[in-house]
Structure 1
Amino acid sequence: MKAKTRPGSDSLKIPGLQIVLDPLTSLINSGLKSTYHQLEVLGTQLAATIEQITMDESQLVTLEQIKSAHNYLKTRPDMVRTPTLMHVQSLFEEHLPKDASGKGMGIDLFMKMENMQTTGSFKIRGVLNQMRKIEKRYGDKAKLVTMSAGNYGKAFAHCVGKRTTKSVCYMPLTAPKNRVTTIEGMGVEVRQVKTEELQPCVDRLVAEEGYIYCHSFDCPNLIAGNGSSAIELLEDVCDPDVVLVCCGGGGLVSGVATTLSLLGHRNCRVYAVEPEGAPSMKESFKVRQPVKLPKVSTVAGGLAPPYAGTLTYKHCHWYVEDVILVSDAEILEALKVLYNRGIRAEPSGCAAMAALFSGKVPDVEGKKVVVYVTGGNVSCAEMKKFIGEEDS
């Protein structure tokens, strides 16, 4: 269990420190007769704990910011309170993990349906709160620029497309054509460039033409807005044991994990779920700093930024239990299962369910498990390709 005490607390009370002290005491008592592996694990735990103790608290989103965002979003007609499907394990009984004898594990399953959110994904939560702060600081005439593979761009366009001031969304050349036309149709100019040129193009527009950059995941206002979903979740499931959240840039899982912990649910294990072909947060956890990947490749394009955000890494490092990787095959299998239960979800929205179905989530027997279905922006043509001719 990761330490979840707020940074800045008395270090002697940090659970993560005790995780280090206990095995160290054992080693001393046994005359330091230990294997190299045990010492290596101890060193890793010690390094991680020191990093947590020294983390700058001011860089993390506060409960006050999350509650402020939640109260604001409740007043917005273009954001809905998404439903939580309750006790739905019987719908997926054959796909849930089994014990060694082949029996079910007694999982009590809940699903937070962010695929039913305005614009088809959770993104609108963070974007609305982000725009609220930008307008307060720069007014409603500021020229805005972002980059997105789809869902953030759609939420961004929903919020700014009707303004008279020009806004630009840079998209990779690999972005599906229907995503491009959707964003353009909502009033935002789309400029498609190679993936490696996205950030330089945005930076150039900011430096030379005075645009304000709206980051698609590494932004405290986005994280706070996304945290509103966890407040809703707790109104439906007051004591979750395990929460699984799809992770691309990490903006949603940062908000969810932070909110649950700050509201007192520190024993609830929150897992970020990434594709094997785009493991930026997993790799960041390994080296204890945000990393950039030389290449990403996955069917879940919305979960494939080439780098982990500085802010989202810090939140995930402190509040997220671990990062679980799933294959494209596991993601598509989860998509098919959801489709056959009448649930429309894009590949990026299925990763968390894929982690559960594939048995990769530890210690779920008899637990209340919440799975986030994060997006449903998938066309009929794409769905037909994903599920296969025989299932359509």
Structure 2
Amino acid sequence: MTQLQDEYIKRILSARVYDVSTQTRLHEAPQLSRRLNNQVLLKREDEQPVFSFKCRGAFNRIFKLLEQTPASGVIAASAGNHAQGVALAAQKLGIDAVIVMPQTTPGIKVDAVRALGAEAILHGDDFDTALSFALKLGEERGFPFIHPFDDPNTIAGQGTVAVELCRQHPESLDAVFVPIGGGGLAAGISVYMKYLRPEVRIIGVEPVDAASMHDSLAADERITLPQVGLFADGVAVKQVGEHCFEVCREFLDEVILVTVDEMAAAIKDIFNETRTLTEPAGALAVAGMKRYVKERNVSGQTLIAINSGANINFDRIRHVAERVELGDSREALLAVTIPEKPGSFLAFCKALGKRGITEFNYRYADAGTAHVFAGVELPGGSEERESLMQTLRQSDYDVLDMSRNDTAKLHLRHMIGGHADIASEKLFRFVFPERPGALLHFLTAMGERWNITLFHYRNHGAAYGRVLVGLALPEGDEESLKQFIDELGYKAEDESDNEAYSLFLR
């Protein structure tokens, strides 16, 4: 045993968590087990009093802190589960708690923090701004700052999940899948499991667009991502913790990356097993498990996934439902060009066979052709997708598979209409903070420099809204536009070359 491991094992075995936490169930998942041809078990951390494992680390960190240095209160910055964990711990220990939350935080989470007796202060549009304010406010009030993941006692508190796993499942075990945001849970579980059950693989799971631990391990140093995806907001961390990285580098076996669609499908899988709606971050482990089984052709093994949280906003369920079948390769989104003549529509439908249609949009393109946007059910998964594509092409249809085209899935499927003959049009996808005044800020900053030719926004129940904007950009204005986007401070992607845009709107 290394000195690092020895230190953490002692911390984990002496961790104080059950004042506010419970030993959660290890839940058999018979449907997933049959589908994956492995024994699948779910560790139900979504059943904690605050619907997340975070109460373990928060209580242990604050309890150990108060043993060393008495304090009348603590302060934290969080938009989610850590906030509730700190608030619950402070309530139990009889001290004040101040939680600084971004203004974009959904009201349900703000209300939950206040219901636990904490003071919730809304400040800034993102976590980094809230964090800076919290650190300053903590100094002013004399309250110690409780980091969401990067502290040895926080890691130790999360490590008690592994202690329970080993006690609940002493039989043969092949792999444990753990969601990774800042890395506290993965560090705590991996260091303990490698101590008691070294033969078990510990596999971290991250979104492909928030792969901070994956990229850091590959570089053998902590890296900072320039930006992160927001679908799984509970793990949207640009840089993993220093202590967390030190532990994971030594004890974590690997990190698997998954997509938004795979997370959405995993949420449905967990719902079918438990009738519980997990948040996207809470379903990460199941999504990673499914990818692992498929890519490695694993069968006959025993696999455990950590369901880390169930604090999902109700408004997000619509967006999740839209992505579920795509995540399991049970739906294809296709753009198909058909002849503009009588009978061609019927012929195309016959070519699809008796497959279920989930969506159908048709628009006259010109005298010779028409474009169809179709969602098609694929009971046979990805193999059936290839068969369908081949069938359509053999029937002389020009087919574009848009199943992995985020702009098509988020925006264009809701905008199928006429074409616009605007040679100078440029298309951009923006991420706006979901708060009053965000659009006004965008328009004010832009002023009258460019004409807006297209605009589409949908609320997905998250802290950020996704907006598609078309601009008439005169030749030579490219540098000015780049400067505008940089000064605006909103994440933006140029979608002017997106194939779906060219087919249906340009």
Alignment TM class, shorter chain as reference: 0.7 to 0.9
Matched with 1:252 is 185
Report the structure number with the largest CA radius of gyration.
2
Q: Which structure has more RCO (C-alpha within 8 Å, separation ≥ 6)?
A: 1
Matched with 2:416 is none
Answering whether residue 117 of structure 2 is matched by residue 184 of structure 1, we say no
**1:143 corresponds to which letter in structure 2?**
G
Matched with 1:193 is 124
CA deviations 1:333-354 (Å, max 9, x no partner) are 1112222332321111001101
CA distance in 2, matches of 1:270, 1:148: 27
Answering whether residue 16 of structure 2 is matched by residue 83 of structure 1, we say no
Matched with 2:475 is none
Following TM superposition, by how much is the alpha carbon of 1:286 offset from its aligned partner in structure 2, in angstroms? 1.7
Following TM superposition, by how much is the alpha carbon of 1:363 offset from its aligned partner in structure 2, in angstroms? 6.5
More helix by share: 1
CA distance in 2, matches of 1:390, 1:349: 15
CA gap of 1:368–1:146, structure 2 versus 1, over 3 A, is same
CA deviations 1:292-312 (Å, max 9, x no partner) are 222111311001122110000
Superposed, which structure 2 residues align to 1:54-73 within 5 Å? 57=4, 61-69=7-15, 72-73=16-17
CA gap of 1:315–1:295, structure 2 versus 1, over 3 A, is same
Q: 1:373 aligns with which of 307, 312, 316?
A: 307
Verify the 8 A CA contact 1:241 1:269 in the aligned structure 2: yes
Following TM superposition, by how much is the alpha carbon of 1:143 offset from its aligned partner in structure 2, in angstroms? 2.7
CA gap of 1:369–1:226, structure 2 versus 1, over 3 A, is same
Verify the 8 A CA contact 1:61 1:224 in the aligned structure 2: no
Verify the 8 A CA contact 1:242 1:364 in the aligned structure 2: no
Superposed, which structure 2 residues align to 1:315-326 within 5 Å? 315-326=247-258
Q: 1:269 aligns with which of 196, 201, 204?
A: 201
CA distance in 2, matches of 1:109, 1:389: 23
CA distance in 1, matches of 2:253, 2:319: 34
Verify the 8 A CA contact 2:33 2:40 in the aligned structure 1: no
Following TM superposition, by how much is the alpha carbon of 1:132 offset from its aligned partner in structure 2, in angstroms? 1.1
Verify the 8 A CA contact 2:106 2:313 in the aligned structure 1: no
Matched with 2:2 is 7
Matched with 1:25 is none
Following TM superposition, by how much is the alpha carbon of 1:163 offset from its aligned partner in structure 2, in angstroms? 7.2
**1:248 corresponds to which letter in structure 2?**
G
What TM-score results when the alignment is normalised by the length of structure 2? Answer: 0.59
What TM-score results when the alignment is normalised by the length of structure 1? Answer: 0.75
Following TM superposition, by how much is the alpha carbon of 1:161 offset from its aligned partner in structure 2, in angstroms? 4.2
Matched with 1:14 is none
CA deviations 1:346-376 (Å, max 9, x no partner) are 1110011011223466473322111111111
Q: Secondary structure of the residue that 1:223 maps to in structure 2?
A: helix
Following TM superposition, by how much is the alpha carbon of 1:142 offset from its aligned partner in structure 2, in angstroms? 2.8
CA distance in 2, matches of 1:288, 1:222: 23
Answering whether residue 282 of structure 2 is matched by residue 349 of structure 1, we say yes
Superposed, which structure 2 residues align to 1:300-339 within 5 Å? 300-339=232-271
Matched with 1:241 is 174
Verify the 8 A CA contact 1:170 1:193 in the aligned structure 2: no
Following TM superposition, by how much is the alpha carbon of 1:385 offset from its aligned partner in structure 2, in angstroms? 4.1
CA distance in 2, matches of 1:151, 1:234: 25
Following TM superposition, by how much is the alpha carbon of 1:152 offset from its aligned partner in structure 2, in angstroms? 0.7
Superposed, which structure 2 residues align to 1:148-159 within 5 Å? 148-159=78-89
CA distance in 1, matches of 2:221, 2:2: 17
**2:32 corresponds to which letter in structure 1?**
F
Unaligned stretches of 5+ residues in structure 2: 326-506
CA distance in 2, matches of 1:61, 1:361: 36
CA distance in 1, matches of 2:203, 2:50: 25
CA deviations 1:35-54 (Å, max 9, x no partner) are xxxxxxxxxxxxxxxxxxxx
Verify the 8 A CA contact 1:114 1:121 in the aligned structure 2: yes
Q: 2:147 aligns with which of 202, 208, 215?
A: 215
Q: 1:132 aligns with which of 47, 63, 66?
A: 63
Verify the 8 A CA contact 1:111 1:371 in the aligned structure 2: yes
Unaligned stretches of 5+ residues in structure 1: 1-5, 9-56, 97-105
Verify the 8 A CA contact 1:157 1:186 in the aligned structure 2: yes
CA distance in 1, matches of 2:161, 2:92: 26
- Matched residues, percent identical? 28
Matched with 2:420 is none
